[in-house]
């Protein structure tokens, strides 16, 4: 080790004396104090199985860092799980916790002036939060994605958390019984890790790699598998080298890197949540790039090469075996910005040299693509002037459209009750509003409404438009999420009344309210503004500071 590290303070100063006293008491020697200090960011928690294995990962990563000649310090953050920590605050603690993680990291790593970070990423919000923090602090950082959970078998068929999701939505309509759902929930998850499909978690793991912030070939990976442990050791060794080389995130997180990540998302039909998370990473990293604009730019240029659940029938295990994210980037090599730098210290082009795709039926070559035209469709129109997103499956037609009367809800539970009573009829456009980042606050989850529609056999018969968010596992007909501006920011979705005609044309990427502009403007004087739902504490702070989705819903500086 030869660099001057910022963690090594000048001998004889008060700060040096205090740190030496505390760290010597923890067993560090004076020789250790001269070595680089690396934060092992551990978003561990026993509250959800997504994070339950991270303590074991942290121990091994720390051992490997010490063996490589540096000193690890584990730091902890909050650990939000969509399935567990979505109950309170109308679901507002999920997205808002992403930014809480970023500030957790800043307070500990920057406060201690550590020299680098290796971040143990798991469930949905930890991967973007870790890269956001990396971009903000701009110290050498590597993200280690810690894997997906093994699935089970129910009555002879593959069964994972997505199947439980879908079945739970069908209880009200009688499509599934409570006992059946209980049976499925007992076998769906066979170990720790994130949801085993191309939901938000595995999507964001792919973002980490395609942005260049994770080791090539490391996503997706089954949690606690031999491959995961190999990548954990390699990542621990590499972060020590990165600190020595002073390879910082802002050298990696360039406009070219974001282009690569967006192209990868379009190619694999990743979660719609990737757009706002990448926008947030760009904001925190000071990168002048319009992520939503990139999705629009590449929409008709990038072929769809995979069909992994919930987009198709292939499993995440098959996707990993075929080569995962790196194999996708290899198939897209002629499109990739191969000059983009990565955590390896090499470019994307250098990382892809000599790589072959293990199974071209799972990750197809461009000449045998499933098709062209995006499954992540950026919509705009008089109902959402700044945009919204529709997620289609691989097999869904791209010419979907619907025109029908609005039926308006301001609480997800009210929509669920109406669907259960049969009040939502074929031809309706369900409007769920006031659940955006400021309106909830923290952005409410609309997925339960989508699965209730599925369970009530209304898929394809109704449309859904919301300013809230959807789980990355959600693919159901015409469902547009993240309508911008959100209702709480004065968006037209807040002006819709029952019976207003809504027209959605996916092929044209338009979503419109067929009400005259002057009529809508006249409604503003009496519209509900969603300024408060009597929240306090963290959610009250978040409401005051959160920026619009197009800016990643980060907190204003």
pLDDT of residue 61: 98
484 neighbors 382 (Cβ within 8 angstroms):
no
Residues 6+ apart with CB under 8 A from 297: none
Q: Nearest-5° angle of CA 377, CA 383, CA 388?
A: 25
- This prediction has a pTM of 0.96
Helices (H), 51-108: 54-67, 93-105
pLDDT score, position 214: 98
Average pLDDT for consecutive 10-residue bins of the chain (557 residues)?
Answer: 85 95 97 97 94 98 98 96 88 94 98 98 97 98 98 93 83 86 95 94 98 98 98 98 98 98 97 96 98 97 95 94 98 98 98 98 97 92 97 82 97 92 96 95 88 85 94 76 96 97 97 96 87 85 94 93
- Position 534 scores a pLDDT of 80
Domain residue spans of the chain = 36-150+191-352, 376-551
What is d(CA 159, CA 156) in angstroms, rounded to the nearest whole number? Answer: 9
**Which position among 52, 86, 471, 553 bears the catalytic label?**
471
| Annotated catalytic residue 225 | no
DSSP codes of every residue in 8-54: SPPTTSHHHHHHHHHHHHTT--HHHHTS-EEEEEE---SSSTTTTTH
Core vs surface per residue 292-318: b (16+ CB within 10 A) or e: bebbbebbeebbbbbbbbbbbebbbbb
Strands 510-513 and 501-505: antiparallel
Q: How far apart are CA 50 and CA 347, in angstroms?
A: 31
Q: How far apart are CA 46 and CA 138, in angstroms?
A: 30
In this structure, whether the domain defined by 36-150+191-352 belongs to CATH 3.40.50.2300 is answered with yes
Architecture category of domain 376-551 in CATH: 3-Layer(bba) Sandwich (3.50)
130: nearest Cα among 287, 262, 281: 281
Please tell me the number of Cα atoms within 13 Å of 49 on its side-chain side: 16
108-125 as b/e: b if 16+ CB within 10 A: bbeeeebbbbbbbbbbbb
CA distance 295 to 293: 5
Report d(CA 404, CA 463) in Å as an integer: 9
Distances in Å between the Cα of 24 and the Cα atoms of 9, 33, 175, 247 are 14, 9, 63, 29
Dihedral over Cα of 144, 297, 502, 395: its sign: negative
Give the other-Cβ count within 10 Å of 547's Cβ: 18
**Structure tokens that stand for 138 in this block:** 């701009």
Looking at residue 414, its pLDDT comes to: 95
């Amino acid at each position: 080790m030869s660099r001057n590290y910022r963690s090594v303070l000048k001998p004889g100063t008060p700060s040096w004396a205090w740190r030496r006293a505390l760290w010597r008491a923890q067993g560090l020697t004076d020789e250790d104090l001269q070595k680089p200090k690396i934060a092992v960011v551990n978003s561990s928690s026993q509250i959800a199985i997504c994070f339950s294995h991270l303590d074991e990962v942290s121990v091994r990563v720390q051992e490997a860092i010490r063996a490589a000649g540096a000193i690890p310090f584990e730091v902890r953050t909050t650990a939000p799980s969509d399935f567990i920590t979505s109950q309170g605050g109308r679901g507002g603690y999920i997205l808002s916790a992403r930014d809480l993680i970023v500030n957790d990291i800043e307070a500990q790593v920057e406060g201690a002036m550590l020299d680098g970070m290796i971040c143990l990423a798991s469930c949905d919000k930890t991967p973007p939060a870790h890269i956001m923090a990396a971009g903000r602090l701009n110290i050498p950082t590597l993200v280690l994605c810690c894997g997906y959970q093994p699935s089970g078998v129910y009555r002879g068929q593959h069964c994972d958390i997505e199947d439980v999701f879908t079945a739970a939505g069908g209880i009200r309509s009688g499509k599934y019984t409570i006992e059946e759902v209980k049976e499925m929930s007992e076998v769906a998850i066979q170990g720790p890790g994130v949801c085993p499909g191309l939901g938000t978690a595995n999507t964001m793991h792919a973002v980490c790699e395609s942005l260049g912030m994770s080791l090539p070939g490391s996503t997706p990976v089954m949690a606690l598998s031999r491959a995961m442990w190999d990548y954990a050791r390699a990542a621990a060794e590499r972060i020590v080298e990165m600190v020595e080389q002073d390879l910082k995130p802002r050298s990696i997180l360039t406009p070219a890197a974001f282009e690569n990540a967006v192209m990868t998302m379009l190619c694999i039909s990743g979660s719609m949540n990737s757009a706002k998370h990448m926008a947030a990473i760009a904001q925190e990293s000071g990168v002048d790039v319009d992520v939503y604009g990139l999705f629009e730019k590449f929409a008709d240029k990038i072929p769809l090469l995979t069909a992994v659940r919930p987009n198709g029938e292939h499993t995440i295990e098959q996707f990993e075996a075929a080569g995962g994210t790196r194999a996708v980037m290899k198939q897209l090599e002629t499109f990739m910005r191969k000059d983009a730098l990565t955590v390896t210290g090499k470019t994307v082009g250098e990382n892809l040299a000599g790589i072959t795709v293990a199974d071209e039926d799972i990750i197809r070559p461009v000449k045998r693509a499933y098709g062209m035209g995006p499954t992540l469709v950026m919509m705009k129109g008089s109902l959402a002037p700044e945009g919204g997103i529709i997620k289609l499956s691989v097999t869904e037609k791209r010419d979907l459209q619907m025109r029908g009367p609005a039926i308006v809800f301001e609480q997800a539970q009210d929509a669920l009750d109406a669907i259960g009573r049969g009040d939502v009829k074929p031809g309706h456009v369900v409007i769920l509003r006031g659940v955006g980042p400021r309106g909830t606050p923290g952005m409410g989850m609309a997925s339960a409404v989508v699965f209730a529609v599925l369970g009530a056999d209304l898929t394809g018969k109704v449309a859904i438009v919301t300013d809230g968010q959807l789980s990355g596992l959600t693919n159901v007909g015409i469902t547009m999420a993240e309508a911008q501006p959100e209702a709480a920011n004065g968006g037209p979705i807040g002006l819709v009344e029952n019976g207003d005609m809504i027209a959605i044309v996916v092929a044209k990427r338009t979503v419109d309210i067929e009400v005259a502009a002057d009529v809508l403007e006249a409604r503003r004087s009496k519209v509900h503004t969603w300024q408060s739902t009597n929240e306090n504490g963290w959610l009250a702070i978040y409401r005051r500071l959160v920026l619009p989705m197009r800016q990643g819903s980060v907190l204003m500086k």
